[in-house]
Amino acid sequence: MPVSQSPSETSPDSLSGTRVLLIISGGIAAYKSLDLIRRLRARGARVRPVMTAGAQAFVTPLAVGALAADKVFTELFSREDEQDVGHIRLARDCDLVLVAPATANIMAKMAQGLTDDLASTILLATDRPVLLAPAMNPKMWSHPATRRNRETLAGDGIGFVGPGLGEMAESGERGEGRMAEPLEIVAAVEARLAKTQPTSLPGSGPTGPLSGRRAIVTSGPTHEPIDPVRYIANRSSGRQGHAIAAALARLGAEVTLVSGPVTLADPKGVTVVRVQTAVEMRDAVLAALPADIAVMVAAVADWRVADVAGGKIKKAPGEDPPPLQLTENPDILKTVGHHAQRPRLVVGFAAETDDTVDNGRLKLARKGADFIVANDVSAGSGVAGGVMGGTRNRVTVIGRDSEESWPELDKGMVAERLAALIAARLG
Ligand SMILES: Cc1cc2nc3c(=O)[nH]c(=O)nc-3n(C[C@H](O)[C@H](O)[C@H](O)COP(=O)(O)O)c2cc1C
């Protein structure tokens, strides 16, 4: 099931003045593009549609043009269109190129740089950000060829929204491949544009779908002292938490990042509170309340040393190693999830090595969270370089009545998708 959206018609001006070139390719999900056009326009975007020949087998240019209130471009070798606008101008006269649905075919052509129709030529000629909303049968999506193409495109800086888990419209098969819902795509468009445009103007506050919202993000490991020189730690780098703080700030949120010891630079436009231990992190998070959003990403140590030695513990010849008595640390996510000032949206990260989704689901209820982002951090999780300390992540986003597995992505991309999801949820 895709992550559920609260269908909201608020934030009416979030795309005011922006120009979206919408390429519709030939998938059954093309019917959803009609609703997508309506949603984009409702937020103030101008939508200029381009349709592949395949797309026209599913929805008519007449319906698309009527909803977009604009001319629909379909032909590369059209004398009038070429004199009038031209394919290069089409590719550049916009703030973002959105492909929804993006077929396996158009992704393959993009990955290869093929240009045999108007849509693929625009995609090669554009210098604007490109966002794809893939939609296809789960077998097509998981095929090694599509996986390779997706990786190539992600490496080329192409953004992705979805696909999610769900039932295929035509075959009834379940699996990953269902196009993201129109509101999720709108949120991803907002996020992508917020990244490429300044989020604040001199003398004005930050703008974006999360402007006016306060967010608290935790990141990194905690260090639990044994004595003044030794501590217990874990492999968390803080990359995921810092990227989420930055992504929320780009969408206009006022972000407090409570960070354990990391070697990363502070994200731009974010207030950073540095802590060492779990207890300090809990105190800093509670001090940052009230907030609208809490995203608890830090790998907080479960235990700390019960009696921290005041001086360096000495090694004496012939003596047994000193026993370490541990005591439980505060559960920060649970504290926030059940707090009297509980933020409207509470998201927790769960690093698991076994039964990732089942354990994530149990945590959701126990901790009072709205979403648990479960990641498999076991050595065999398949993520190159490992999740903890690495640059990539593969997560399953578990909601109260939803579950969505995202492909392996750069942590920045995971952050962008999560921020877009949060923006969509908060309307
Ligand atoms: C009924 C039907 C449904 C299809 N749905 C999809 C789809 O959801 N995703 C996809 O990648 N291809 C789908 N295809 C195949 C594409 O239409 C086909 O690959 C076509 O060449 C895509 O062209 P385009 O990418 O230029 O639009 C479907 C084909 C048919 C006949």
CATH number at residue 141: 3.40.50.1950
Ligand 1 mutation target, pool 103, 110, 149, most atoms within 8 A of CB: 103
Question: Is the separation of the CB atoms in 304 and 277 below 8 Å?
Answer: yes
Mean pLDDT, 10 residues at a time, over the chain (427 residues)? 34 80 97 96 94 97 95 86 76 94 98 96 94 94 92 84 75 81 88 60 56 95 95 92 93 94 89 94 93 97 93 90 93 96 96 79 92 77 52 86 85 90 89
Q: Which pLDDT score, from 0 to 100, does residue 105 have?
A: 98
Do residue 288 and residue 371 come from a single domain?
yes
Decide whether any atom of ligand 1 lies within 6 Å of the 170 Cβ: yes
The half-sphere exposure of 222 on its side-chain side, counting CA atoms within 13 A, is: 27
Separation of first and last alpha carbons in the chain: 20
What span, in angstroms and rounded, lies between the C-alpha atoms of 24 and 223? Answer: 50
Residue with tokens 């999720």: 184
Q: In 203-270, which ranges are continuous DSSP H helix? A: 239-250
User: Is 134 contained in some domain?
Assistant: yes
User: Is 75 contained in some domain?
Assistant: yes
Q: Which pLDDT score, from 0 to 100, does residue 205 have?
A: 40
Decide whether any atom of ligand 1 lies within 6 Å of the 55 Cβ: yes
Asked which of 130, 161, 195 is the last residue of a domain, the reply is: 195
What's the sign of the alpha-carbon dihedral 198, 202, 208, 213?
Answer: positive
Structure tokens at 365: 């209820």
User: Is 205 contained in some domain?
Assistant: no
Do residue 243 and residue 132 come from a single domain?
no
Do residue 234 and residue 325 come from a single domain?
yes
Q: If you measure from the C-alpha of residue 28 to the centroid of ligand 1, how many angstroms do you get, rounded to a whole number?
A: 7
Tell me the CATH number at 236. 3.40.50.10300
What span, in angstroms and rounded, lies between the C-alpha atoms of 136 and 154? Answer: 18
Task: Name the residue among 385, 333, 382, 376 with its Cα closest to residue 356.
Answer: 376
Do residue 250 and residue 127 come from a single domain?
no
User: Is 115 contained in some domain?
Assistant: yes
pLDDT in tens, 253-308: 999 999 999 998 888 889 999 999 999 999 999 999 999 999 999 999 999 999 99
Positions marked catalytic: 234
Asked which of 195, 223, 254 is the last residue of a domain, the reply is: 195
**How many domains does the structure of the chain reveal?**
2
Do residue 380 and residue 418 come from a single domain?
yes
Do residue 169 and residue 277 come from a single domain?
no
Decide whether any atom of ligand 1 lies within 6 Å of the 134 Cβ: no
Q: Which pLDDT score, from 0 to 100, does residue 1 have?
A: 29
What span, in angstroms and rounded, lies between the C-alpha atoms of 86 and 77? Answer: 10
What span, in angstroms and rounded, lies between the C-alpha atoms of 374 and 361? Answer: 9
Do residue 244 and residue 108 come from a single domain?
no
Task: List Cβ neighbours of 60 (8 Å cut-off, separation of 6 or more).
Answer: none
Q: Which pLDDT score, from 0 to 100, does residue 183 have?
A: 87
Do residue 272 and residue 188 come from a single domain?
no
Structure tokens at 273: 């509170």
User: Is 206 contained in some domain?
Assistant: no
Decide whether any atom of ligand 1 lies within 6 Å of the 135 Cβ: yes
Q: Could you say which DSSP state residue 57 is in?
A: G
What span, in angstroms and rounded, lies between the C-alpha atoms of 269 and 206? Answer: 10
Q: Which pLDDT score, from 0 to 100, does residue 336 have?
A: 96
Counting from 1 in the atom list of ligand 1, the atom nearest the Cα of 179 is 8
Task: Name the residue among 101, 85, 83 with its Cα closest to residue 93.
Answer: 85
Average pLDDT, the chain: 87
User: Is 203 contained in some domain?
Assistant: no
Do residue 326 and residue 396 come from a single domain?
yes
Q: Which pLDDT score, from 0 to 100, does residue 108 have?
A: 98
Q: Which pLDDT score, from 0 to 100, does residue 203 have?
A: 32
Do residue 155 and residue 218 come from a single domain?
no
Segments forming the whole domain that contains residue 116: 7-195
The H-or-E segment that residue 61 falls in is: helix 61-68
